[in-house]
Amino acid sequence: MDQPAELLALAVSVARSAGDLANRMRAEGVDVAATKSTATDVVTAADRAVEQHVRDELHKARPDDAVLGEEYGGGQARSAVRWILDPIDGTVNYLYDLPQYAVSLAAEVDGVVVAGVVRNAATGREWTATLGGGAFCDGRRLRVSAETELGQALVGTGFGYAAERRLHQARVLAGLIGHIRDIRRLGAASLDLCLVAEGVLDAYYEKGLNPWDRAAGGLVAAEAGALVTGLDGNPPGLDMVIAAPPALHPRLHQLLSDLDASGGP
């Protein structure tokens, strides 16, 4: 039996050494190693080295588990556990030395995320959660914002890398921004979700998130009391992730649905 607390302890220790590696490589200077979906969707040598480090450490401790990682994809498990990894979430921030990038590592058992850690490698702040066990930041229990009016809500979001998708996302934002306090685009989805857990952002939404962007942060937000959903009855996924306190979620969801936020390219 894989206990969430045991999986979390391993995740935290691996995320810490992974964050240290990212920082050492950042200090030595960062170059783009390759591009992926578009010319601005970059991979650095650190993205790959950090992912390899995490894979090696997990394999040493739990050789039968599978790992799904952003840079090297997925593998076959001989156990019920699959790890979901973004070695550096916020790669563009990392490239520009903006201190908002994270190692995001979650453990799934039989397809359900049961433990997750998001570590801001630049600042050392660390958010953790286990399923049913609550969400914490540096030992402090987290609770979402108590805001009840969407017009007063500070809302995070992000944009994909492809121009056509960004244009659709900008049109959705143009329809939304008159109904909220303001918008923040901080550049790392996992950290955005953790900021919702803390109540530092009142809510967050984004289309186009992959499992590694949202697995750990989504659990942290949910365990802090956020509703983490997709649009129109769908679970959170590629089409949409909305994370908001129960008092804000219905109105935000309604606006995003009316604006066809999960549509477009």
Name the residues that contact ligand IPD, by CB under 6 A: 86, 89-91, 158-160, 187-189, 206, 208-209, 213
Query: For residues 93 and 145, which CB has a smaller minimum distance to ligand IPD in the complex?
Result: 93
DSSP string, 155-172: EE----SSHHHHHHHHHH
Query: Where do runs of H (alpha helix) occur along the chain?
Result: 4-27, 45-61, 91-96, 163-176, 189-198, 211-223, 249-258
Task: Write the DSSP symbol of residue 136.
Answer: E
Greatest CA separation found in the chain?
A: 51
CB of 123 to ligand IPD, least distance (A): 16
- Applying the rule CB under 5 A, the residues between 181 and 240 that interact with Ca ion are none
> At its nearest, how many Å lie between ligand IPD and the CB of residue 45?
15
| 105, containing H or E segment | strand 102-109
Nearer to Ca ion (CB atom), residue 86 or residue 223:
86
| Candidate list 86, 147, 192, 198; residue touching Ca ion; CB under 5 A | 86
In the bound state with Ca ion, the residue whose beta carbon lies nearer, of 36 and 181, is 36
Strand order from edge to edge, sheet including 203-206: 182-184, 154-156, 203-206, 241-244, 227-229
Instruction: Tell me the closest approach of the beta carbon of residue 51 to Ca ion, in angstroms.
Output: 9
Q: Identify the three-state secondary structure at position 23.
A: helix
- Closest-CB residue for ligand IPD? 158
CA nearest 155: which of 174, 175, 177? 177
Q: What tokens does 73 get?
A: 């994809």
| Least spacing, CB of residue 93 vs ligand IPD, in Å | 7
Distance separating alpha carbons of residues 25 and 15, to the nearest angstrom:
15
Q: How far is the CB of 101 from ligand IPD (least distance, A)?
A: 7
Residue (4 or 187) nearer to Ca ion, CB: 187
Q: Determine, following the binding rule CB under 5 A, whether residue 70 of this chain makes contact with Ca ion.
A: yes
Q: Which of 84-92, 117-125, 229-237, 255-263 is the region at the interface with Ca ion (rule: CB under 5 A)?
A: 84-92
Contacted by 187, from Ca ion, ligand IPD, none: CB < 5 to 8 Å by type: ligand IPD
223 binds, among Ca ion, ligand IPD, none (CB under 5 to 8 A by kind): none
**How does 43-56 read in b/e, with b if 16+ C-beta sit within 10 Å?**
bbebbbbbbbbbbe
Stretch near Ca ion under the rule CB under 5 A, chosen from 31-39, 63-71, 138-146, 235-243: 63-71
To ligand IPD, the closest distance from the beta carbon of 13 in angstroms equals 22
Distance from CA of residue 57 to its chain's centroid? 21
State the residues that interact with Ca ion by CB under 5 A.
Answer: 70, 86, 88-89, 91
